[in-house]
Amino acid sequence: MSKITIEIPEYLRQQVESLSSAEGFSIDQFFATAASEKLSVIRELDYVRERASRANDEEFEAVLEHIPFSPVSEDWDRMPIGTIGKSDASN
């Protein structure tokens, strides 16, 4: 194991201390887990971006053409009216 020293705001230290104590793990475990989870998310995002860069829209559309039409049978699976064909511009 390696040791590092980090500086964090006091309010964050207090929240981490409180949560760690309540959940029964050490502050070291909290930060090691948080760092591991963050690395995992970043690596996954990099992987998805790399895969997306190799995407071929024409091949994707050709594959979709082979899927037979089937009406939506469940209300929870329906798109809200007016959303088809619109993209989320906030991303």
Q: For residue 84, what pLDDT is reported?
A: 67
**82 falls within a domain:** no
**90 falls within a domain:** no
**9 falls within a domain:** no
Q: Which domain holds residue 52?
A: 29-65
Report which of 41, 17, 15, 39 is spatially closest to residue 29, judged by C-alpha positions. Answer: 17
* pTM exceeding the 0.85 threshold for the entire prediction: no
Q: For residue 6, what pLDDT is reported?
A: 92
Q: For residue 87, what pLDDT is reported?
A: 59
Show the tokens assigned to 27: 């502050």
Q: Convert the pLDDT of each residue in 11-34 to its tens digit.
A: 999 999 999 999 999 999 999 999
* Domains: count for the chain: 1
CA 62/CA 60 separation, integer angstroms = 5
**59 falls within a domain:** yes
